[in-house]
Amino acid sequence: MSSSLSPTPRRKLPIGIQNLREIREGGHYYVDKSGLAIDLIESSGKAFFLSRPRRFGKSLLVDTFKELFEGNRALFEGLAAETRWDWSRRHPVIRISFADGVLQSRAELERRIFEILGDAQRELGVQGTYESIASRFAELIRLAHEQHGQSAVVLIDEYDKPILDNITDPEIARQMRDGLMNFYSVLKDADAHLKFVFLTGVSRFSMAGMFSGLNHLQNITLDERWSALCGYTDADVDTVFAPELPGLDREEIRRRYNGYNWLGESVYNPFDLLRLFENREFRPYWFETGTPTFLVKLLSERRPYTPDLGRIVATDSLLSTFDVDTLLPEALLFQAGYLTIDSVWQIPGRRELTLKYPNKEVQASLNDVLLKSLSGSPEVPEPQISRLYRLLQAGDVAALRGLFHAFFASIPHDWYRRNELSAFEGYYASIFYSHFAALGLDIVVEDTTSKGRIDMAVLCFGAVWLFEFKVVELVPQGRALQQLQDRGYADKYRSRGEPIHLVGVEFSKADRNIVGFEVETLAAS
């Protein structure tokens, strides 16, 4: 007689649900983070700050802390916390969230804070007497401790949203920053009444400015122990969501959505996976929920060489330098989730991080947006990208020149006149690269060989494409393909047994287009 395990039943997908009680009582999938939450609570220190991109489960984590400290044991049955937590001790919890709505002035911010503090007073059964925000917050923490007999817990979700919502208006953003600094400064002198403090948001504003005096506040954003505190790991996908996997390409799920890393275990953005399991179709779900327009505007103004975006090297202090008056593209891209950590190089007192795109969703979607900005029109690149895919799939080498020549010719003359961007050398290569990157293809920029570096290698559809870019005003025409040939760049890829296309692309700033496009195809060995 044979026996087999019955398949795990499918459950509801917790799309958009940030409430632990609703997830646990409503029969939804739940990835257990309660053990990690307790690890953090029991670690050295009691005040922590965590930055993660939007839609990464930060609010659910905050709610998990709340339910733990309020002693709601029934919600943790069968989870890691059930046998590890002291359910006999309950702490008053002050939960503050700026997630809802858009505040557009310092006055609106202060009214919202008063509403939040008023709600907390009623929930905890304490009466406030002070009129100022700082005094009222300090009194709330003190009275919560005194009346409940246990020190208070303060949980602040989306601490930075009022600033980010106004980042394109520096004056309003500064007012928001100053108002929040005044509010958060209360935590400095309330230490004796606090059991645990946890703040989370997208950005990491200068710790010296935003949290001045809070020397005990630990920034755990780049601590390998907490890399998976938010997000789903590969193990989570294979176990918790096992019933959702049949019918989907597991490796494609990993390639498209995994890869976010903060010096520890890599994770998936939960929103992407939940929407994938719902729709059973691969799409850039997270990216489509909104890319900050100010980020694209900033990148366009700073004129990035787009092939470099996926291999930026920066110190961790630089990536933490973010303020209203200091908007660095590297920090913005990293904190917002468009770049993540690839590798670390460390010497005493200094740590350098090499960044990369976390996955193909981000690589393709961000380059699609940047390509529209680089070409001066959202309509110009769309048909080109689709046609490029078809040409690569068909291996139609000859048609590529016409495709890109037509693309550069379609960029309005007036846009060239108004933008200095077109005058810098990397502009043409950026346009070229972003077309391929927008397709989510496997691309290696400045691919290292024993005889030099290939400008761009693209591996797709059973073939290898090696590109060399030149600007004819800087080097004699006809040198691009010759360099590929002379340096034997194809040798690195001969062992793949695939056709290798050597493509020399030459641009002219005067003509604003391709003036040389030579190809040699080496048959599969």
3-state SS string over 244-296? Answer: HCCCCCHHHHHHHHCCECCCCCCEECHHHHHHHHHHCCCCCHHHHCCCCHHHH
Q: Are 160 and 173 in contact (CB under 8 A)?
A: no
Residue 314 CA to residue 328 CA, distance in Å, equals: 11
3-state SS string over 173-193? Answer: HHHHHHHHHHHHCHHHHCHHH
In 105-179, at which residue ranges do the beta strands (DSSP E only) sit? 152-157
262-294 as b/e: b if 16+ CB within 10 A: bbbebbbbbbbbbbbbeeeebebbbbeeebbee
CA dist 174 to 234, 293, 317, Å? 40, 19, 22
pLDDT per residue of the chain (525 residues) written in tens, 0 to 9: 344 444 678 999 999 999 999 999 999 999 999 999 999 999 999 999 999 999 999 999 999 999 999 999 999 999 999 999 999 999 999 999 999 889 999 999 999 999 999 999 999 999 877 789 999 999 999 999 999 999 999 999 999 999 999 988 999 999 999 999 999 999 989 999 999 999 999 888 765 566 766 667 899 999 999 999 999 999 999 999 999 999 999 999 999 999 999 999 999 999 999 999 999 999 999 998 876 677 777 777 776 778 888 888 988 877 776 778 777 888 889 999 999 999 999 888 888 999 999 999 999 999 988 888 777 767 767 788 899 999 999 999 889 888 888 877 777 655 555 555 444 557 778 888 889 999 999 999 888 888 889 999 999 999 999 999 988 887 777 789 999 999 999 999 999 999 999 999 998 878 878 888 999 999 987
Give the pLDDT of residue 462.
95
Question: Which CATH fold topology does 31-226 show?
Answer: Rossmann fold (3.40.50)
Q: Containing H/E element for 445?
A: strand 442-449
Residue of 281, 256, 266, 276 whose CA lies nearest to 231: 266
Residue 8 CA to residue 301 CA, distance in Å, equals: 52
Strand partners, 200: 50, 157
Give the pLDDT of residue 419.
54
Residue 427 CA to residue 407 CA, distance in Å, equals: 14
Three-state DSSP class for residue 216: coil
Give the pLDDT of residue 213.
62
Sign of the Cα torsion 490, 496, 497, 501 reads negative
Where along the chain do its domains lie? 31-226, 367-522
Sign of the Cα torsion 428, 434, 435, 441 reads positive
- Quickly count: other Cβ atoms within 10 Å of residue 5's Cβ: 5
Give the pLDDT of residue 510.
81
